[in-house]
Amino acid sequence: MPRRHGRLAEFHLGDSGSVLQNLTALLSNVEMPLSVETAQVTALGEDDHEQVPGVRGGNIRLTGFPDETADAFDEVMAETLGGVGGTAASAWKYFPAGSVSNRIVYSGSAFVTAYSPGGGVGGAAAATGELIIHGSVTRGTVA
């Protein structure tokens, strides 16, 4: 499989109206660590740990640039913090190598759990956001 440059990645997040907004032009980094909880099942007298796999989960970390235009990173993150309407998770799609046909796409729903716009002397205004994945993650390819 050919390797692709990370600059091709795209990330889309549902806004308060459940419309997927393409945040790509305002993001500089997307991370999506997925994991599986484990339970220790080591019996007394054993010399080595034993575990069994449990529930899958993950989160999404975004780094980007706040922008005051409608449907920009700042607006979508701020309005969906804590869930759409305080209860509903937002839909999302992540294209690690772009949204061209036959490339990988991950999708699911998530709650925005943190959003931190900021800036400092000598640097660009920046923002970070964190989402916790709600339910399963679907992996497919772009049609």
Structure confidence at residue 73 (pLDDT): 86
Q: What is the pTM of this model?
A: 0.87
Tens digits of per-residue pLDDT, 72-101? 888 899 889 888 777 889 999 999 999 999
| Domains delineated in the chain | 6-34+57-141 (2.40.10)
Reported as half-sphere exposure (CB side, CA atoms, 13 A), residue 48 has a value of: 2
Query: In the structure encoding, which two tokens stand for residue 142, read together?
Result: 């772009």
CA distance 41 to 115: 38
pLDDT in tens, 16-35: 888 999 999 999 999 999 99
- CA–CA separation, 126 and 142 (whole Å): 30
